[in-house]
Structure 1
Amino acid sequence: MLNPQTTDIQFNGSVGAVAISLGLPALLTVFGIVLNSQSPFKSGIPFPFDWSFDRIANAAFDKNTWIAYTTYFFGFVVLDQLVPGKYIKGVVLRDKTQLTYKINGLNFILVIVTVLLARLYALGSLPELEFIYEHQLELTLTCCLFSFALAVFVYIYSFFPLKTPNGLGTNDRILAEPGNSGRVVYDWFIGRELNPRIGSWDIKLFCELKPGLVLWLLINVSCLYSQYLQHGTISDSMLLINFLQGFYIFDGILNEEGLLTMMDVVTDGFGNMLAFGDLALVPWAYSLQARYLSLNYIDLGWPYCAATVAIAALGYYVFHSANQQKSDFKQGKLAHLKSMKTVTGSNLLVDGWWKLSQHINYLGDWLIGLSWCLATGFNTPLTYFYAVYFASLLVHRQVRDDEKCASKYKQSWDEYKARVPYKIIPYLY
């Protein structure tokens, strides 16, 4: 069967989907109220803010913000089509076909940076950055509502007939195995269709990388720009967070091709979970550190900054070298490393980085995120949200992967776990 019925319901089904879909936007709204230019957050002054319904409603439906964001999003869609790139095949799908993806992240980001620098040179200022900084709450709520609307669109779109080149018929969209339960709210949340596309434009890959990541970068730079306008100087903490997160963003965009083998693209459908995560959560939760520092001028000193960079560098080393080792092994380049044969005939790596834990790359990724939190010092727990959130996300991914592998490898998976007992952190978890 091309599209089997979903039997493994996650997040407690529709109840959990609704709770997450309402709870996370509410959390981002709190961040937007607490950290914005109109309501400076200072540790020791917990909640001197305007929480009124009228303020939130006005911010959510601000006409100028909606015009600005939709222009930004659909402008990026057009730019994505125009900017040249290379074309590569994705993984083999259930109907034995492979989708073709346009990989143009490097050229795309170069165009964005060039345009911003040209406008700075021509105008002597960047009104776009000032707009972002002055409309943080409005943009937060706009991103939340836009992601909801996009999830509704792709859910409805998944029911439209599709002519495919393999001749399977007119209703053979490939649905995501986790998102074909028949429960409307749950499938809308998880994502019903695996790879929703309009023509050759892949909605999921586009949202995974470009609009959310670039907005995150612009938010950070807007905070740096605002601090300079306010103080005439830039704190070392602000420079540090822009460097650490800017490097991460550019690294992600430059490694766009790697997304094609990730769980988000290979197995997950595109619904509200990914749309909200890509378009709202990433830019407005991951930028907490820069937004806090724009309101609190903090100099950390070079020894502290150097130690924070060292933690980030360690994280990058673990993350990239472990991923590269696994990739090389799959390509048959590391025959000297120990592996074990599974009942499916494939081999699982149990040597090198991958004898330390089943997801040693997750540890590296978490260390990178921890370095961002450390860049704000220890004045408030607010800026450590990412470290806690990302740890819970990685544990959830590990649990999902464990269930998937247990189903796929049967008794071989028990043997593998006996040889590599630690899940993420060696000798601890």
Structure 2
Amino acid sequence: MSQLNPKTTHKEFGGLSGVLLITFGLPTLLIVFHQLINENYQTNLIADFDLDKILTFKRPLLEIVTDGKIWTFYLIWFVSLAILDVTLPGYYKNGVELRDGSKLNYLINGISIVSFLVILLASRFIITDGQLPELRFLYSNVLEFTIISILFSFIFSIFVYIYSFIPLIKPNKFNTKERILAAGGNTGNTIYDWFIGRELNPRIGPLDIKLFCELRPGMLLWLLLNISALHHQWLELGYVTDSMILINMLQAIYVFDGVLNEDGCLTMMDITTDGFGFMLCFGDLSLVPFSYSIQSRYLSLNNVELGLPLSIFILGLGVVGFYIFKASNNEKSNFRQGKLPNLKYIKTERGTNLLVDSWWKVSQHPNYFGDWIYSLTWCLSTGFANPINYYYSIYFGALLLHRQKRDELKCQEKYGKDWEKYEKEVPYKIVPYIY
């Protein structure tokens, strides 16, 4: 057994059978979502259910899979962002301490990335007199880009899995050339480890693959898909509905917050604990952009006017959710940096502190609660005609519950009796006085 990389004994998602179900089930679901909300199928899902339309594609699948133009556009997008990620100016910050005692150094340059893209988009808008053919091409080929991103996720995650077996150039502190593997992705089963992610922090030169995929290609493509839907509506109607403005604004704030505050991701479970395998690769590159943007696509095909009272209510709910999310996250970050010594905490035998005050007294994950409230506003912006638009809030709620359970198991093992004391101080998991 490796001193640096102990063998994984616990398998998540029900083991290999669950992993296979997710591997093929979620990509299929993503394509079904497109088939339920497109120019040929855009009415009430329940009242006008039509299986033939769901199973009918505008082009043969083989033709889509081998479409060189779509592949070229997607690869240019991915590679260009990777180049910008390692070349645009920013500042450096260390991540958490790894098992070998080292800390990875990250270039934090989200502001530069966003500024570059905003300038580029604005320039194209002026040059093309508002026509923006690139956005029109993206909007017209959402299914094609969805399928290509899924295939790319398979290919890229296979590459990263193979890459995890290549020895390091320089020895680590254990005087071996082993890479640091994810605690959950070292079972020895090829398919399971490929899905969960074998290596914890795969890097190609200065490019940290996991953080890059977390915040760049998928998140920014989600933003472009929303803008392309708004642009399509503007070209078709000559104006933009209040619902389309609201969904674009609410989701843009979320995207910009993630990209511009990327240093906050360095302590998230995705970066510190999970390996980078198909699960994260597909989630980042396919699931995020093409499922999170279904509300804006729906609104581009169905002109929903909310009216001022409902718009104000949804916006107000979003402000409340976002405030809880940001305030609680910032408080914990400041506490960890020693900026809030007055807050109550439990000193653990490991020497770390468990915060049990202010936001972190009302529940163990108040940030999850605020995040979920904010997600609900995206769904409410579409009205109530199509339940598919509420997919995100339902999915996100299940995801947050799963994360909370994973975190709880990890903390029980890590802190032992100190965690029992913590749970007595903070009994509610996510929703105060309910759960």
Where on the TM-score scale, by shorter chain, does this alignment land: which range?
over 0.9
2:350 aligned counterpart, secondary structure: coil
SS of equivalent residue, structure 2 residue 53: coil
Q: Deviations over 1:6-33 (max 9, x none)?
A: 0111011111111101111001000122
CA distance in 2, matches of 1:33, 1:136: 11
Partner of 1:41: 42
In the alignment, structure 1 residue 129 sits paired with structure 2 residue 138: no
**Matches of 1:95 and 1:335 in 2, distance apart?**
30
Q: Secondary structure at the match of 1:423?
A: coil
Q: CA deviation at 1:166?
A: 4.2
**CA offset digits 1:259-318 (Å, max 9, x no partner):** 111110011100000000000000001001001001100100011011101111101111
Per-residue displacement from partner, 1:13-66 (whole Å, max 9, x unpaired)? 1111111011110010001222234x2411132225151487334333322211
User: Residue 101 of structure 1 aligns to a residue in which SS?
Assistant: strand
Number of aligned positions between the proteins: 428
CA contact (8 A) 1:224 1:294 kept: yes
- Alpha-carbon deviations, 1:209-249, whole Å to 9, x = none? 01001100000000000011111111100000000001111
Residue 51 (structure 1) aligned with residue 55 (structure 2)? yes
Of residues 17, 20, 26, the one that matches 1:18 is 20
**Sequence identity of aligned pairs in percent?**
51
**1:415, distance to aligned residue in structure 2 (A):** 1.7
Match of 2:163 among 124, 149, 157: 157
Aligned counterpart, 1:144: 150
1:373 alignment partner, one of 350, 374, 379: 379
Report the Cα offset of residue 171 of structure 1: 2.9
Aligned mates of 2:273, 2:328 — CA distance in 1: 22
When structure 1 is superposed on structure 2, of 74-83 and 215-224 the one drifting more is 74-83
Tell me if the contact between 2:347 and 2:353 (Cα under 8 Å) persists in the aligned partners: yes
Helix, strand or coil: the match of 2:177? Answer: coil
Match of 1:314 in 2: 320
Separation in structure 2 between the aligned mates of residue 205 and residue 131 of structure 1, nearest angstrom: 28
SS of equivalent residue, structure 1 residue 179: coil
Indicate the larger mover: 347-356 or 399-408: 347-356
Query: What is the rounded CA distance, in whole Å, between the counterparts of 2:42 and 2:218 in structure 1?
Result: 25
Pair 1:268 & 2:268 matched: no
Counterpart code for 1:413:
W
1:216 to 203, 219, 222: 222
| Contact preservation (8 Å) 1:61, 1:142 | no
Taking the aligned partners of 1:334 and 1:123, their CA distance within structure 2 comes to 51
What CA distance in whole angstroms lies between the structure 1 residues aligned with 2:41 and 2:14?
38
Q: Mapping of 1:198-277 within 5 angstroms?
A: 198-277=204-283
Which residue identity is paired with 2:4? L
CA distance in 2, matches of 1:396, 1:160: 32
2:68 alignment partner in structure 1: 63
CA distance in 1, matches of 2:259, 2:351: 34
> What is the alpha-carbon root mean square deviation over aligned residues?
1.4
8 A contact 2:10–2:184 mirrored in 1: yes
Counterpart secondary structure, 2:178: coil
4+ runs deviating over 4 angstroms: 165-170
| Aligned partner letter, 2:42 | F
**Secondary structure at the counterpart of residue 167 of structure 2:** coil
Q: Distance in 2 between matches of 1:163 and 1:221?
A: 44
Say whether the 8 Å CA contact 2:180–2:201 is kept in structure 1. yes
Task: Determine whether 1:84 maps to 2:89.
Answer: yes
2:184 counterpart SS class:
helix
- The match for 1:361 is 367
Q: What's the offset of the Cα at 1:118?
A: 0.8
Measure how far apart 1:422 and its partner are: 0.7
Amino acid at match of 1:51: L
- Corresponding residue SS for 2:211: helix
Report deviation, 1:170: 5.2
Residue of structure 2 aligned with 1:325, choices 309, 328, 331: 331
Q: 1:148·1:272 contact (CA, 8 Å) conserved in 2?
A: yes
Moved more, 290-299 or 161-170: 161-170
Partners in 1 of 2:372 and 2:276 — Cα distance?
A: 24
Task: Identify which range, 40-49 or 348-357, moves more after superposition.
Answer: 40-49
> Where does residue 33 of structure 2 map in the other structure?
31
Task: Please give the alpha-carbon distance, in whole angstroms, between the structure 1 residues aligned to 2:228 and 2:341.
Answer: 49
Alpha-carbon distance between aligned partners in 2 of 1:316 and 1:177, rounded to the nearest angstrom: 32
Report the TM-score when normalising by structure 2.
0.96
How many Å separate the matches in 1 of 2:170 and 2:418?
Answer: 37
Find the residue that maps to 2:55 and give its secondary structure: coil
Residues 32 and 54 of structure 2 are in contact (CA less than 8 Å); yes or no, is this contact kept in structure 1?
A: no
Q: Tell whether 2:134 aligns with 1:120.
A: no
Q: Which letter does structure 1 place at the counterpart of 2:49? A: P
CA distance in 2, matches of 1:192, 1:314: 39
Match of residue 345 from structure 1: 351
Q: Within 1, Cα distance between the matches of 2:71 and 2:373?
A: 36
Conserved? CA contact 2:172–2:178, under 8 Å: no
CA contact (8 A) 1:244 1:372 kept: yes
